Chain A
Amino acid sequence: MKPRYLIGLVLIIVIAALSFMMLDESSIEYADLDRAARLGKTVQVVGTWVKEDGSSYDAASNLFSFRMKDEQGKQIDVVLEGAKPNNFEIATSIVVKGRIEGSTLKASNVLTKCPSKYEGQASDLKAS
């Protein structure tokens, strides 16, 4: 094997290893609240908003807080850095990205999943 190929091969392996490490570092696992508490790092939690407990946005601190329930039914208070996410109220489920600190889930992002987003439904049709 020619030395140039060898150098190339080594370079490719180094780059591949580095990028895999970065990928691993940057990947954010989907977890339920129990696992999120155990891991103690940033994860994504799929669940629903506990509507009965309401939600509030504090404009002064720019924090949006609400209570969520994960797919196992466990509940936690969520504090999101930022305003109320789009479509929060009509979302059928939410994906909260954040980490558990003490008794609250400190969220950096909340994605909302809507029933076929912006898609028409038969119930929207009105006769002429």
Chain B
Amino acid sequence: MIGQITIHVLFATALMSTLLYFLSIKAGDTYARVARGLFGLLTLGLLGAATGLIILILQHRFEYTYVQSYSSTELPLHLLIATMYSGQEGSFLLWTLLVAVIGVGLQPYARRHGYESQAMAFYGLILCFLTLLLVAKNPFAYVWETYARDGVAEGFVPQAGRGLNPLLHNGWITIHPPILFSGFAAMSVSFVFAMAGLLKREYHRWIDVALPWTLFATAVLGFGIMLGGFWAYETLGWGGFWGWDPVENSSLIPWLVSVALVHTMLVQKRTRGLVKTNVILAVAAFVMVLYSTFLTRSGILGDTSVHSFVDPGKFAFWILLLFMSTFTILGIVLVMRRRVDMNVNREEFSPRTREFMLSIGAAIVMASAVLVTIGTSWPVIMEVLGRPKVAIAIDFYNKVHIILLPAMLLVNGLSLLVQWRATTVSSFKRGLVRALVISLVATALSVLLGARDFVSILLAFGAWFSLVINGQIVLALYRRAPSTLGAYVSHAGIALLVFGIITTANYSETHHAQLVQGVPSKVGDYTLTFEGKEQVEKEFADREKFEYAIRIVGNDTDKVVKPVLYWSDFNRRQSAFLEPGIRWGLMNDLYVAPKAYDTEDVEHRTTVRRDTTYRVPIDSAVALRFVGFTMPMTETPAPDGRMRMSARLDVTVGGEQLDSTLRVPTRLTQGAEGMSFEQEWTLIPGTTIEVGLVDIKRNNADPTKSTGDLVFRDTSKPAPVARDIFTVEFAVKPLISLVWFGVITMVLGFVVSIVRYGRGKQRPPVGVAQDTPLAGTEVSAKAEASDTDAQQS
């Protein structure tokens, strides 16, 4: 009860704080002081709610629907804590909490820069919507409230929880969602500063204030996305790290917009251009966070994704829609009202300048964001337009980025060869020729090493071009001005990531293999042996989880990996849970994805249809023609009293048909799960082969279409022992380590930039402060080196 009331009070507190912050814009600090206090209370309240939820989970208070739905008594501590945000209600609570916590850091910062009232008013408004969502999806609801219609009595306490989805049982659940949500939460900061800038008519200063936060949000979200990809690759066994799934896209889209925003903000910081572009992009980045949340949380994309979508109910659906439209409209209205006012600095960038190149780069990144958005939304767009429902094949995204990605890399390289404001033709040419020669040689080397198709070569050239130029600058600067290296490190990281994408997407080798226990099989260039299985996680009653030891030998490797395949009561044992086994390596990963586990079919089970002739699997000289079943009433019961049915077979041995039809009887047992059959082995006359009838599938509509399953054995030979068979997909993934290494490098670059811009040492914009020599007007090598200090891309 107290939990639910708390959520309502928190919503009221958010409303009050927001209202007072809006009032304080005109009325001043008296209101702001109260609003500030309320904001602090709100954050404490949210912290309390989250802690309270965790405590309820730890105490296994199953009368709470959320606790009952997502946790169980067997879960270890870290997973119990992760349960707090594993369900929809809890994940909204985590998001809200992180927004509030970031707000606590934001408030003094905004105050210091004189933006508190405006920024925090909009920030509070975001929290109003988030807490309203919590009111609709209250994590503290009782089971008798949730299931009121099913007649669950008040005060009823369920005995056990449903447990956490076994797919989520690993360490990644404890870090991936909090980091991703921190990224989402931080994305709201650039938006509120843009709004504040518009209100205050300070169209340049908000950029300086917001830039470190935008960098922070982009870095954190990018890192979170990578962790998701790593999780999918390492644990979920989806085979890759990226599948253009709506859920993946929905975090990528805001990230792309934010990346574009970082670049255009830098242009404005240096040249005072792109004023409108920046406010529009700041609005767009935040609106895309909301749009993505709407797409993935409203249940609207239901059947197009591998992720499970839970329909949140009508109320939450409309809140999400209202949330998104409110901020879209607010953003548009404010931008439109200030549009004339913002025409403060209309000038054209000449093509041979960094500002021009950065604008083009941002435009390409935005093109990517727009196309991914359209692709992800296409099923919804078609539905709204009343056209036949469609889905988008993932090759759409691949095709689009085959064009956009090389363009991004080339523009990135070019942007570093030119300088702010103006570049002399000679210095540009010198740099370009050098970079082109090196990257062409490197690309040629890549071709020698195995790059074959045009797309790979094109991408590799782009990546080399970007890597060479960024690498040169890093090498030139890392002693003199390490604090300015952020951007170059980030871009070098992206180039490495692209190499990893090329090799894994185009040069992975995948083989399908059936591994019989103890028998080495040649799979590709390697020998795989299934050595045996071992049960793990015995404390969980819902599953018998086995690790299957697979030895991989070949190419100087001799390593045992342990993929996992198991069944769990969580999904009523309807399908298996899978985890891959990976031999990690710098040069390549060997990836064993389990597919099926079976025992060898030593009985040669064969399904027979009527009036069809079958060869006996263990003796091709013998053929059978199935002519029908006998009915139980025409058969004498078995000695143990059970009813019998028989399959009637016309038998041909060595081309000669036997005179009489062979009757193969089976004994019937009626069980809870239907009829079961026990065969009576029947010798085929003139051979050593016995046949048994082990299953009958009746077709009541047309009895002539009923089928039977026959098994065979050779009485002249010892009975073979059934061995276990483990079916796997074995893949060699070259240089996939570059994917992770590239993204981490990129994030590290962001960290360097955050430190640099967060310290607040502001450089006057180039060409505005007259006492600073215009960057790029000097041509000497010395000047060029010192200017790189000012370079940023």
Chain B residues in 8 Å Cβ range of A117: 308-310
A84 to B152, CA, bound (A): 36
| CB proximity of B757 to chain A, nearest CB, Å | 30
Q: Is the CB of B159 within 8 A of A126?
A: yes
Q: Is the CB of B147 within 8 A of A122?
A: yes
Chain B residues in 8 Å Cβ range of A15: 367
Q: Is the CB of A26 within 8 A of B396?
A: yes
Q: Is the CB of B574 within 8 A of A60?
A: no
- Which one of B171-179, B255-263, B385-393 contacts A? B385-393
Chain B residues in 8 Å Cβ range of A66: none
CB proximity to A under 8 Å, residues B121-175: 143, 146-147, 150-152, 156-160, 162, 165
Contact of A28 among B69, B143, B147, B392 (CB under 8 A): B392
- B91 CB–A CB distance under 8 Å: no
Q: How many residues of B contact A (CB 8 A)?
A: 57
- Answer whether A28 and B391 are a contact pair too, CB < 8 Å, given A59-B598, A117-B308: yes
Q: Is the CB of B572 within 8 A of A128?
A: no
Q: Is the CB of B69 within 8 A of A44?
A: no
- B723 CB–A CB distance under 8 Å: no
A58 to B757, CA, bound (A): 59
- Which one of B20-28, B370-378, B430-438, B680-688 contacts A? B370-378
Contact of B390 among A30, A122, A126 (CB under 8 A): A30
Q: Is the CB of A95 within 8 A of B303?
A: yes
Chain B residues in 8 Å Cβ range of A22: 396, 399-400
Chain B residues in 8 Å Cβ range of A116: 310-311
Q: Is the CB of A90 within 8 A of B571?
A: yes
Give the secondary structure class of B's interface: mixed
Q: Is the CB of A128 within 8 A of B159?
A: yes
Chain B residues in 8 Å Cβ range of A89: 574-575
A4, A19, A84, A128 interface centre (most CB from chain B within 10 Å): A19
- A103 CB–B CB distance under 8 Å: no
Q: Is the CB of B574 within 8 A of A90?
A: yes
CB proximity to B under 8 Å, residues A12-33: 15, 19, 22-23, 25-31
- B588 CB–A CB distance under 8 Å: no
Q: Is the CB of A59 within 8 A of B310?
A: no
- A67 CB–B CB distance under 8 Å: no
Q: Is the CB of A128 within 8 A of B157?
A: yes
| CB proximity of A61 to chain B, nearest CB, Å | 8
A117 to B595, CA, bound (A): 22
A23 to B392, CA, bound (A): 7
Chain B residues in 8 Å Cβ range of A46: 303
| CB proximity of B305 to chain A, nearest CB, Å | 8
| CB proximity of A80 to chain B, nearest CB, Å | 12
Q: Is the CB of A59 within 8 A of B150?
A: no
Q: Is the CB of A62 within 8 A of B512?
A: yes
Q: Is the CB of A125 within 8 A of B390?
A: no
The digit string for B490-528, where 1 denotes a CB below 8 A from any CB of A, is 000000000000000000000010100000000000000
A116 to B69, CA, bound (A): 12
Q: Is the CB of B595 within 8 A of A111?
A: no
CB proximity to B under 8 Å, residues A48-89: 52, 54, 57, 59-60, 62, 82-89
- Answer whether A28 and B390 are a contact pair too, CB < 8 Å, given A59-B598, A125-B156: yes
**Taking CB as reference atom, which chain A residue is nearest B70?**
A120
- B210 CB–A CB distance under 8 Å: no
Q: Is the CB of B150 within 8 A of A122?
A: yes
Q: Is the CB of B575 within 8 A of A23?
A: no
Q: Is the CB of A19 within 8 A of B400?
A: yes
Chain A residues in 8 Å Cβ range of B374: 19, 23
A86 to B304, CA, bound (A): 15
CB proximity to A under 8 Å, residues B222-263: none
Q: Is the CB of A59 within 8 A of B158?
A: no
A97 to B302, CA, bound (A): 15
Chain B residues in 8 Å Cβ range of A19: 371, 374, 400
| CB proximity of B298 to chain A, nearest CB, Å | 14
Q: Is the CB of B378 within 8 A of A23?
A: yes
Chain A residues in 8 Å Cβ range of B151: 122
Q: Is the CB of A29 within 8 A of B156?
A: no
- B727 CB–A CB distance under 8 Å: yes
**Taking CB as reference atom, which chain A residue is nearest B69?**
A120
- B429 CB–A CB distance under 8 Å: no
- B673 CB–A CB distance under 8 Å: no
Q: Is the CB of B392 within 8 A of A125?
A: no
- B615 CB–A CB distance under 8 Å: no
Q: Is the CB of B393 within 8 A of A27?
A: yes
Chain A residues in 8 Å Cβ range of B392: 23, 26-28
Q: Is the CB of B393 within 8 A of A29?
A: no
Contact of B156 among A86, A111, A113, A127 (CB under 8 A): A127
- B65 CB–A CB distance under 8 Å: yes
- B106 CB–A CB distance under 8 Å: no
CB proximity to A under 8 Å, residues B379-405: 382, 388-393, 395-396, 399-400
- Give 8 CB contacts A-B under 8 Å: A19-B400, A25-B396, A30-B389, A89-B574, A117-B308, A117-B309, A122-B147, A128-B62
Q: Please name 12 further chain A to chain B contacts, defined as beta carbons within 8 Å, in addition to the given A22-B400, A83-B727, sorted by A numbering.
A: A23-B378, A23-B392, A27-B382, A44-B391, A59-B514, A83-B596, A116-B311, A119-B310, A120-B65, A122-B152, A123-B150, A126-B159
